[in-house]
Structure formats: structure tokens, C-alpha cells
Amino acid sequence: MSSPPKTQYTKSGDVHIAYQVTGTGPLDLVFVPGFVSHLEYQWEYPESARFFERLASFSRLIRFDKRGTGLSDRVGGVPSLEQRMDDVRAVMDAVGSDRAALFGISEGGPMSLLFAATYPARTAALVIYGSYARRAWAADNPFGRTVEEMDRVMDTMEREWGGPVGMEIWAPSMAGDERFRHWWANYLRLAASPGAAVTVMRMNMEIDVRHVLPSVRVPTLIVHRTGDRLTFVEQGRFLAEHIPGARLAELPGDDHMPFLDSDQIIDEVEEFLTGTRHVAETDRVLATVLFTDIAGSTERAAALGDRRWRDVLAGYYGMARRELARFRGREVDTAGDGFFAAFDGPARAVRCAEAISAGVRSLGIEVRAGLHTGECEMIGDKVGGIAVHIGARVASLARPGEVLVSNTVKDLVAGSGLTFTERGVHALKGVPGEWPLFAVTQAR
């Protein structure tokens, strides 16, 4: 996608609700977010953007920020489930959607279930991901969360809001990924204040729509990851057992966030809603991927303040893009202070990384850089595949001011004048095997 869609507003009662529309498919699909959201910043993380682009490839995707979060009006008190459900109706009316499928994520699941039972004529189908009928523990709901458990979660949120709080629950597979941690911290800050976030969590503990489930009479798909640490898979099984005719798709993984490793999820959703499963046309090429990010960016941003930090980021990106042009690389994506580029020559990629690292020191910052060469999938202007994940993992292990490369890169640049120092053998999270890594010591 060349640029994010325009954010628009409609009123639900006296509250302004922000929404976006993406895609022109024959099916209207309303995405009902969980916990907190931010329509515009969700496009800043490549995997999140790709998730929504895929949904929009077979639908007219309608997204919104719930009242009290993101770009929608802040509200006093705790909005009821009924009020928040009515926000769905208001957004559908605003975009001229008489009938749509609903895709409810986590706490968006109960909202979607209530909407489908209340407005069956306006609900073409229902997809529920990582969700529940009742969040809180009860004798007849043994897989719910106890008040004590959730109090601990909410205490941590209030104490640590502003940082990448809750990653071990929402996105455990990304706990060591600095690029994601930076994006997640910014995302939470933009989506809600700590008080608003805790208010949402307290409201979630009061939700119980178990009595509604037999009244849901639309085609329903329940999708749940078996290792979900926030909402146990037994909650998804309960939904499937009590909604007439519901289909259950249990998928491997323990991330609660749906856009992480999302292809399996979207494959299930697309097949359920359209009857077919899209097969992407991909070209596979050998490429060298480069990831850079600013070392200690959170502390540096706090020390400088927002305005000066924006100036530093602008200088950093300007420097990176000038060197990218000089070494014939291609910018793939940016997120927060992360920069992702691809090259058709590994030696030029290493020299570009060294030039960026040296150049940004004049801005008072240091970057970490990581490179890997491997077979990549080219889907439009995007670059994907295991080689990209390896490059990102290598970058996460680099020290401030260091350019770190995989053994593949080192071997391919033999005779180029580049020299390296061994940095040991490492396990890369989510990647099989052990990987020897090397730091660049000379680039001439």
C-alpha cells in the first residue's frame, strides 16, 4: 500500500468514532479491535500493515477505534458493551454498509457476538479470534482469569505504561525483537492513557455473553491459537460448542496479536468468507536484507523530548536514504526508528550499513545493523520469507555502532576487502539451528 487510508469520523450518540475503509472487494468486513487500537499507527509496523492489506485484498475492510481509544473521542466512565456495540452500527451506517461480516478480536469478540445476535439481518457472517464469552473466572468458567491475576496485570500496566508492557502475554515470540518492542510501546501510548487502558481491562472482567451464544444464528468461525497466553484455547472451544453450527480452527502458536505470523489466520478467514483460499503469486530471488535501528532509542527520545527527537529521526532517515541511493539498495519499510532495506549485492549492503553507522554519529546517536543473504519472496514491492526474519534477528543481537552479519554474508563477500571478527554462535529466536555471527571490522 503506497499510503494509509484516510481517517474519517462519524458520531455514535455524542461520541465521535474514527474509522478507515480499505479495499474494494465484494464483501464488507468490519474489523472489531480488541483492548486498545490506533488506526493510523497500525500501518507503521510492516507485519500489521500486511495483515490488513491481505484482509482488504478480498473485502472492503472497515476498521475503527472504539470509543475512548485511538483516534476516537475519549470518554468519561466505563462505556457499556451495548454502547460499544452500537459504535459498530454507527460506522456501518456511515460507510453505507447494510450487511457485513464481523471479525472480532479478543474483547472485540463479545461485541461482535452481541451485534450478530441483535442485528442478524445486518450480519453476513462472524469470525472470532482469540476471544471468549466471559473473561473472569467462575466455577462454571474455570478457564477464565481470576480477579487476582488481572489485578496483577493491571498493576503492571499502570506502573510500566509507556514501555513495551505485556509483551510476554500479547506477543511472547517477539519479546527479544527491539524493533517490535519500540513499535509496541509507541502503539500503546498512542492508543490510550494508562488510566484508560486499565478502565478497559476492568470492563472486560465484567463481560459475560454466554447467554447470548445460542441466539447467534449466522455462519461463525472461531479461530484460536493453542498456546495463547491471554485467552486460553478452552475459551475458543467453549464458543464453538455453544454457538449453533460454529466451526473451530485451532492454530499453532502462542501470540495473542493476530498480525504476527498471520498467514494461517487469514487463510482460514478468507476460505470461510469467500469459499476459496488465496495463493499468492511470488517471485523468489537471492537478496541481502539490512535492518538498522537506533541503540537506546527510548531513553534518548525521553532525554531529548518529542520535538528534538523528531529532528534526530528525520536526520537519521535522510542519512540512511542517501547512503541507500549511493549503494544501490532499495528501501522496503520503516517502523519507529527501524529501517529495512534490500540489496542485490552483499558487499554493497555491508558498505551501506557501515556508511549509515558512521554517518549518524554526527547526530549524537548510534545504530545497530544486521545483515543476512538468502532467498526472499517478492510480493509486489514487499520482501518476505525466512531470510528476512533471520536478518531482523541478527540485527537484534548487534551492539551499538556495530554491523553484524550472518556467516552467509561473510562467505559471499570473500575477496571484497571486508574483514570480520567472530561474535560467536547464536540461536536465533524462531529460526532452526545455530548461527555463527561476525562483526564488520574493516570496510574499504
pLDDT given at position 203: 81
Q: What confidence tier does 373 reach under pLDDT thresholds 50, 70, 90?
A: very high
Give the phi and the psi of residue 245 in degrees, each rounded to 5. Answer: 75, 10
DSSP-assigned states of every residue in 9-30: EEEETTEEEEEEEE---SSEEE
pLDDT given at position 442: 67
Distance CA 308, CA 289 (A): 30
Question: Global pTM?
Answer: 0.67
Same CATH topology for 8-274 and 283-442: the answer is no
CATH fold of 8-274, please?
Rossmann fold (3.40.50)
Amino acid sitting at position 231:
T
Tens digits of per-residue pLDDT, 12-42? 989 999 999 999 889 999 999 998 999 999 9
C-alpha dihedral sign at 109, 82, 190, 31? positive
The answer to whether residues 291 and 179 touch, using CB atoms and an 8 Å cutoff, is yes
The residue with cell 541481502 is 288
pLDDT given at position 224: 97
pLDDT given at position 1: 46
Percentage above 90 pLDDT, the chain: 63
> What are the extents of the domains in the chain?
8-274, 283-442
Q: What confidence tier does 279 reach under pLDDT thresholds 50, 70, 90?
A: low
The answer to whether residues 192 and 107 touch, using CB atoms and an 8 Å cutoff, is no
CB atoms within 10 A of CB 428: 21
CATH code of domain 283-442 = 3.30.70.1230
Q: Is it the case that residue 380 has pLDDT exceeding 80?
A: no
